Amino acid sequence: MRSTVFLVLGFLTLGGLCLAYGDPAPPSAPGGAMDHALNIKPENMKWGPIFPELKDKSPQIVILHTDAKSGATQLMIRVPANFHVPMHWHTANETHTVLSGTLIMECEGSREALGAGSFNYIPGKMHHQAWTTPDEGVLVFITVDGPWDLNWVNGPPKPGDLAGGMKP
């Protein structure tokens, strides 16, 4: 069974995300085009849970910028240690840049451990999943070439599907 979940702002995640912690997107200029630079300091980032039902064990997300015309989005996600994001896909192309920790990505049946400073690109609609290691979480910067949606391959995960780290 395939289930599609579209994010309120276009990310990594379940519907109602923005309602859980307010509007995380910085304001844009009228007409959609920003006519100024945008700087956001860490203390001004509005982080919120991706899976509110997991409480403090949920990954956290912050939307940094969404282009009003194209929907292209830049965001960051903090994922706790020993966490599994089940098989899913996004309509638009997606990139990940690991800022800290180790992210294990699986695409097309191949797994790769990506440490701090690593980058990956995933074409739109490609199935992929990710894990963190048992001893450390990860901070990842993500760009999406269009509106960010999240489409679960085997239906939305249950809390037990998310924790527990990498499975063979």
Cα–Cα nearest to 48, from 11, 74, 82: 11
What is the reported pLDDT for 166? 56
Q: Taking a C-beta distance cutoff of 8 angstroms, is the pair 3, 39 a contact?
A: no
Give the confidence band of 161 by pLDDT, cuts at 50, 70, 90.
confident
Give the confidence band of 153 by pLDDT, cuts at 50, 70, 90.
very high
Domain boundaries along the sequence of the chain: 3-23+41-152
Both tokens assigned to 127: 């199935």
Q: Compute the chain's Rg from CA coordinates.
A: 15
Cα–Cα nearest to 34, from 6, 7, 70: 70
Q: Taking a C-beta distance cutoff of 8 angstroms, is the pair 49, 60 a contact?
A: yes
117: helix, strand or coil: coil
**Whole-Å CA distances, 154 to 90, 94, 141, 157, 164:** 14, 20, 25, 8, 18
User: Rounded CA gap, 20 and 23, in Å?
Assistant: 9
What is the reported pLDDT for 121? 98
User: Rounded CA gap, 125 and 63, in Å?
Assistant: 21
User: Rounded CA gap, 92 and 143, in Å?
Assistant: 10
The amino acid occupying position 127 is H
Q: Taking a C-beta distance cutoff of 8 angstroms, is the pair 152, 14 a contact?
A: no
Could you count the other beta carbons within 10 Å of the beta carbon of residue 47?
14
pTM of the model: 0.77
Q: CATH classification of 3-23+41-152, choosing from 2.60.120.10, 3.40.50.2300, 3.20.20.70, 3.40.50.12160?
A: 2.60.120.10
What is the reported pLDDT for 93? 98
